[in-house]
Chains A and B, each alone.
Chain A
Amino acid sequence: MSVQTWTWILVGITFALYFGIAIWARAGSTKEFYVAGGGVSPLANGMATAADWMSAASFISMAGLISFMGYDGSVFLMGWTGGYVLLALLLAPYLRKFGKFTVPDFIGDRYYSNTARTVAVICALIVSFTYVAGQMRGVGIVFSQFLQVDINVGVIIGMTVVLIFAFLGGMKGITYTQVAQYCVLIFAFMVPAFFISMQMTGNIIPQIGMGGKVEGGAFLLDKLDTLHTQLGFNEYTSGTKSTWDVFAITLALMVGTAGLPHVIVRFFTVPKVKDARKSAGLALLFIAILYTTAPAIAVFSRTNLIETVSNKDYQEIPAWFKNWEDTGLIAWADKNGDGKIQYVAGSALDGKKPEFTEARGVNGERLISNASTATNELYVDRDIMVLANPEIAKLPNWVIALVAAGGLAAALSTAAGLLLVISTSISHDLIKKQLKPTISEKGELLAARISIFVAIIIAGLFGIYPPGFVAAVVALAFGLAAASFFPAIILGIFDKRMNKEGAIAGMIVGIVLMLCYMIRYKTGLIWVLDPLPKSEWWFGTSPEGFGTIAMIVNVVVSVVVSRCTAAPPEEVQELVENIRIPSGAGEASNH
């Protein structure tokens, strides 16, 4: 059977499964809608958290990014896993004990102030929307690649699917669908990895194969380092970023992970404090399976790519190369006219993406109009590595189709989780807690469903008309979360003396500082400012790593301001003492 037929079959089966679950787990009350009734087992919650967490970016882009970044790619691996240690040790148990629905709920009650709650809601909306915009685009790309439809049609299909299960089931439906999606995505990620590891190193476990030997007896990583040096790249295992910047980015990603509202809210869904700790551990275990395999895939595919294309005649290159060239994700310009592909360090293009002319060259390649003067002749889009890997390694068609189903599961589960947080922020934190406290449960549920509908439309529009800054901003959502929520929550638990003045000042200074740095050094301000170059960075900190500095500033401001103003009231201090002990958590409550 062809890849296409297999794709339809596998995507069809998995989608039927997701819908079945969504209908079975319909939500009847706000509690079921927001926190799945607080009755999810730690195992199911762990899987759901893992699926929620691992987006299209983790599934499709990360291994590709690492394969081009080498050691520098470690920032994603450590940054996006180490945050769970912070979550499990410093946040999850206490927030579960506190027992409300949302992060702004905690901030509002702990800091006895609706201003604090509003600041938290705004931060949550900024973080979640920047994040979800990238996801919808990811959904569109995956659908368009595999179902051979236009990318915008892909986004619309994705929107409809997310809408159905989020609308019906709320958190309950989403949680159980995510459990199924986790199983699909991890299976889809591991199967090709086993095959390729076996092929290249004779060891079926990719984590071990990565450190194994290739044909001829050399270690795989040594061979890759040698290849890199010969072609003028930096050694794969060394990287190019400064040690400080690697440090700062890793810390910003870790802390940002622990501060993301759609991740934190997952720990409100389990019955007891004990379960919150345990499910954080299980979530990380499930995530680690993918995150320790990704760097192995990166090494395999990098080696495969170099060996397959470097100095080979274009005429004799395998079919996958030409297929991806047709979709515009690979480009080759025969600059020295020898008909061979020269792949060395340096950019093959002026600008970021290839600009194709309609014409074909003497070898049958697509001509590009923006080839640079550098020796390098090859452009490869980083996103194709995971998708093309099974083809490069000549794996069976069903494996290639499986990757499509996995990519869809990853993108949909994350989008659904995020949309739920957005709708909760609006219906619960804004309408119920501030605008109209008298609203009935039915009314609130309706408001939640309407806001999820609106949120999906907006997210879909972002996906269809992606503003240029979205891609740049998604990575920075972590910096924003690190600079705003994380210190306010941690200090709220560990510093009894922290008061509302301190926390509000800290959150505002943190998020504004981060936004300004982002605009000044990364995105620019449309028409007015161009982003400043690398040489102007403060202490050599990239915008991705700046969350670390903004977070430290937040903490300092919070502590200084709180010590200069009145201590929080007696009952708040008692609340803090109460969340520090695990017993008597009860159910997640509305009051």
Chain B
Amino acid sequence: MSDQKKHAKAYWKENLKYLIILLAIWFIVSYGCGILFREELNQFRLGGFKLGFWFAQQGSIYVFVILIFVYVRLMNKLDKKYGFDE
């Protein structure tokens, strides 16, 4: 196997690891906090918001934006590490 191919394989593996972690967070904030466990979270409050309701209508959206920018940073680093940067 050539160096290029080995790099590509390792790169893909790390990429998949990032994807699994980030998508797990994506799922937990929206489907978890905002939908499935909202009743439980609604017992807590964030200012005037019930927490579950806040996640559903505000919090999850903020987290989505942050997730993409974290991904962009991680991938830019990964590109450099394996020499796929341009």
Contact = CB atoms under 8 A, between A and B. Distances in A.
Contact of A84 (B38, B54, B64): B64
B48 A288 contact: no
B65 A212 contact: no
Contacts of A583: 79, 83-86
Given A82-B26, A210-B48, A277 B64 contact: no
B65 A285 contact: yes
B64 A77 contact: no
B48 A211 contact: yes
Nearest to A80: B61
Interface in B55-76: 56-58, 60-62, 64-65, 67-69, 71-72, 75-76
A243 interface: yes
A284 B30 contact: no
A225 B86 CA distance: 54
A274 B79 CA distance: 9
Given A82-B30, A280-B68, A295 B57 contact: yes
Contacts of A210: 48-49, 58
A121 interface: no
Contact of B71 (A220, A277, A584): A277
A577 B8 contact: yes
Given A90-B19, A292-B62, A281 B36 contact: no
Interface string A296-316: 000000000000000000000
B60 A78 contact: yes
A14 to B, nearest CB: 27
A81 B75 contact: no
A78 B58 contact: no
A89 B15 CA distance: 10
A237 interface: yes
A213 B48 CA distance: 7
Nearest to B83: A583
Nearest to B11: A581
Which interface residue of B30, B31, B46, B85 has the most chain A CB atoms within 10 A? B30
B75 to A, nearest CB: 6
Interface string A260-293: 0000000000001010011011001100100110
Contact of A281 (B15, B23, B47, B69): B69
A221 B46 CA distance: 12
B12 interface: yes
B23 A247 contact: no
Contact of B61 (A71, A78, A250): A78
B48 A78 contact: no
Given A78-B60, A274-B79, A292-B62, A582 B53 contact: no
A573 interface: no
Contacts of A74: 34-35, 56-57
Given A77-B61, A250-B35, A277-B72, A582 B84 contact: yes
Nearest to B78: A582
B28 interface: no
A211 B50 CA distance: 9
Contacts of B79: 274, 582-583
A278 B72 contact: yes
Contact of B35 (A85, A88, A220, A243): A243
A246 interface: yes
7 nearest CB pairs, A to B: A219-B48, A74-B56, A281-B68, A211-B48, A211-B47, A583-B84, A295-B57
Given A78-B30, A85-B23, A583-B79, 10 more contacts: A82-B30, A208-B47, A243-B35, A243-B36, A250-B35, A274-B79, A288-B64, A291-B61, A292-B58, A295-B58
25 contacts: A71-B38, A74-B57, A77-B57, A78-B61, A81-B61, A85-B64, A90-B19, A210-B48, A210-B58, A211-B47, A211-B54, A221-B48, A221-B50, A237-B42, A250-B30, A281-B65, A281-B68, A285-B65, A291-B61, A292-B58, A292-B61, A295-B57, A580-B12, A583-B79, A584-B86
